[in-house]
Amino acid sequence: MANMSLKKNEMPTQAPDVRRQNFNEVALGYTAEQAIDEAKRCLNCKNMPCVSGCPVKIHIPEFIQEVAKGNFEEAYQIIARASSLPAVCGRVCPQEKQCESKCVRGIKGESVGIGRLERFVADYHNASSTDKPEPVAKNGHKVAVIGSGPAGLTCASDLAKKGYEVTVFEALHLAGGVLVYGIPEFRLPKAIVQKEIDGLVALGVKIETNTVVGRSISIDELMSEEGFEAVFIGTGAGLPKFMGIKGENLLGVYSANEFLTRINLMKAYREDSTTPIQRARRVAVVGGGNVAMDSARCARRLGAEVHIIYRRGMEELPARKEEIEHAIEEGIIFDTLTNPIEILGYHNPDDKRDPQNGRVTGIKCIKMELGEPDASGRRKPIEVENSEFVIDLDCVIMALGTSPNPLIKDTTPSLEVGPRGGIVANEQGVTSKDGVFAGGDAVTGSATVILAMGAGKASANAIDEYIKNKK
Amino acid sequence: MYKILERQELNPTVTRLKIHAPRVAKKAEAGQFIILRTDADGERIPLTIADYDRENETIDIIFQVVGATTERLNHMRIGECLHDFVGPLGRATHTDGLKKVAVVGGGVGCAIAYPVAKKLHQLGAEVHAIVGFRSKDLVILEDDFRNSSSKFVLMTDDGSAGERGLVTDALRSLIESGEKYDEVITIGPLPMMKFVSLLTKEYGIRTIASMNPVMIDGTGMCGG
């Protein structure tokens, strides 16, 4: 009997006033009873509209039917056919813009909690399964994967399962890419990422950390000197953008990249950290995407009063809905329809050695209103005359998006790159350079984990074809 | 893991380590740096590559004990391993077309000046090395500079080694005596580099100063 409740089963979470004092995961996950109850809300539509909203085409109604019957491991196997990182995607996918946006139940009431069910199933599997991956016969062909984020991990995993000898090169000291340095612990526990990486190693994938391709070794050298027959570039979009306003060089102004890397990768939030971070009193985060929400919520957990400054309105915030709701519950202040025009700093004209010199003291903003829709279809924000005001603060975090890291393109002359710095590649990841494939944010600019995974998967298939045809 | 193969105390606060790091040694050039962590939860610190040996796959680093990580590094012994060691990062010093160069180093900045002098010397350029220290017990890399230059001038503030005076005094007298440099490369404390630059400006000599304080993350996240 279907569950006709108009609302999703609520996700159990840590209470807001508790969680804003710690970095533990906010959402606690469904119990088996909640999962079964939620799964019964699925109408098992014949035309499966939800699947069309999934970038990797998980057979959603099929896995949900198994959950409804209490067959959680079967449900996992159905998801695993299409997705290699379900525990990650169940947590970080913007489901309300993907699968859940197509759900029939969403027409009147709330859609089925597909993301929450995916997460439940993946966590159930991770907690209960002890199975070691089946050893795969090696085919003797070597493939290099550059970058160990979602695109690289997916590509490496799929190739290893096909028998390739895969080496993943990672620039930082820890594998995981944006899953480790970008997304905070309270949204994606690092133990989950580590489990995925351990799984890869168990499949026989070699991971070389501390290797900056483009500096330590070039793509041409990987192919000519180290015997890699194909290379996949999944180096993401790690190059931060700034506004170009006055005062961005002041002390206490961070890119979200730096701020989050310090906190997530270097664990700056821990009391015993060897690399602590400034504990600010009042922080402004400029931007409205997931990275802005992550930065704001980290700063809040470090004890600051936090303002999100965004030039459009609440409705236009590009972040995942759940993150915005969580941010509001945690007491983040949203200064929407507001745009910074200058960052203000301290300067003591009488004492050049004053340690406060050059530190940020405030941000000057102007109010905005929404005008006619622009080329992107969104209403264009326009400045309201004479509406300038100053927020006094001691830290500014710029979260305005990122572009692809330029290191690979600068050191690989024959690789074609688009006007925004993205590597030019088709849907299969084929680039302008023979044997070199690319996917994820390195191609598209900053997007989502699931799209990067999809691209890694497509490239793994294309690399397999390429090497087979070469023989 | 990156093993410490040799350790040498150059002066009471400056130490030189030889590290086994095959990928870095294969590509390292003068002017580049590495980032290291001593331990699994350690800080990432950048240090300039002081020397490299492609055949033996080693990198030399020279550091002054100034904080927690360099203190920890100074306590590590031969046979121990650094947890992380990544590079070579940054851009190599431009050496193309230089025939006669004065390399002016000050204090621990000489650790950065030395690989530049060595590279130019290997390329066949005439290298004049002018190095300055506060006193005799702080002098580092004297023999290395002697072997990588056709003229070597050692200056100390108190005259306890070499000549008494500043590197700018030595540089001025060489220029005045008719030496014609294509370029002056200076690496050391900011005031020293400032006065070297002011001096060479008088004579219109192209001058490169090394700005270690703006060393960035090295992985491209800062755009470098």
Q: Residues B56, B85: one domain?
A: yes
Confidence bin at B91 (pLDDT 50/70/90): confident
Q: Where in chain A is the domain with CATH 3.50.50.60?
A: 142-238+404-470, 242-400
Q: Domain ends where: B89, B121, B154?
A: B89
* Domain with residues A16-128, CATH architecture: Orthogonal Bundle (1.10)
Which residue on chain A is closest to B40 by alpha carbon? A173
Give the residue from B50, B72, B77 showing the smallest Cα distance to B61.
B50
pLDDT tens digit sequence for A406-427: 889 889 999 999 988 999 999 9
pLDDT tens digit sequence for A113-154: 999 999 999 999 999 877 677 778 999 999 999 999 999 999
Q: Residues B105, B202: one domain?
A: yes
Supply the DSSP string of B113-156, one letter for each residue: HHHHHHHHHHTT-EEEEEEEESSGGG---HHHHHHT-SEEEEEE
- Whole-complex ipTM: 0.87
Across residues A263-271, what is the average pLDDT?
Answer: 89
Report how far residue B58's alpha carbon sits from residue B2's, in angstroms, rounded to the nearest whole number.
10
Q: Looking at the predicted structure, is the pLDDT value of residue A213 above 80?
A: yes
Contact assignment for B86 to A238 by CB distance below 8 Å:
no
Q: Kindly list the residues from chain B whose CB atom is less than 8 angstroms away from the CB atom of residue A405.
A: 219-221
Q: Domain ends where: B55, B89, B123?
A: B89
- Cβ atoms of residues A233 and A436 within 8 Å: yes
So what's the pLDDT on residue A429? 96
Q: Residues B73, B125: one domain?
A: no
Contact assignment for B89 to A212 by CB distance below 8 Å:
yes
Across residues B138-155, what is the average pLDDT?
Answer: 96
CB proximity list for B75: less than 8 A, separation 6 or greater: none
So what's the pLDDT on residue B218? 59
Q: Domain ends where: B36, B64, B89?
A: B89
In a domain, B45, yes or no: yes
Q: Residues B205, B126: one domain?
A: yes
pLDDT tens digit sequence for A430-464: 999 999 999 999 999 989 999 999 999 999 999 99
Averaged pLDDT of chain A? 94
Q: Looking at the predicted structure, is the pLDDT value of residue A360 above 50?
A: yes
Q: Kindly list the residues from chain B whose CB atom is less than 8 angstroms away from the CB atom of residue A217.
A: 23, 26-27
* Helix A150-161 / helix A190-202 crossing angle, nearest 10 deg: 30
So what's the pLDDT on residue A428? 96
Confidence bin at A278 (pLDDT 50/70/90): confident
So what's the pLDDT on residue B217? 60
Nearest to A274 among B68, B83, B84 (CB): B68
Across residues A36-49, what is the average pLDDT?
Answer: 96
Across residues B40-65, what is the average pLDDT?
Answer: 93
So what's the pLDDT on residue A2? 82
Q: Looking at the predicted structure, is the pLDDT value of residue A297 above 90?
A: yes
In a domain, B215, yes or no: no
So what's the pLDDT on residue B216? 58
So what's the pLDDT on residue B53? 96
Nearest to A406 among B69, B84, B220 (CB): B220
Averaged pLDDT of chain B? 92
So what's the pLDDT on residue B224? 44
Beta bridge partners of A437: A232, A430
Ranges A22-26, A38-42, A339-343, A378-382: which has the least confidence: A378-382
CATH of the domain at B13: 2.40.30.10
Report how far residue B131's alpha carbon sits from residue B128's, in angstroms, rounded to the nearest whole number.
10
Range of the domain at B55: 2-89
The distance from CA A120 to its chain's CA centroid, rounded to whole angstroms, is: 20
Q: Which amino acid is at A149?
A: G
Q: Residues B109, B50: one domain?
A: no
Given this structure, which CATH class describes domain A142-238+404-470? alpha beta
| Model confidence, pTM | 0.91
Contact assignment for B221 to A257 by CB distance below 8 Å:
yes
Tell me whether A387 touches chain B (CB under 8 Å). Answer: no
In this structure, which CATH number among 3.40.50.2020, 3.50.50.60, 3.40.50.300, 3.30.70.980 belongs to the domain A242-400? Answer: 3.50.50.60
Tell me whether A257 touches chain B (CB under 8 Å). Answer: yes
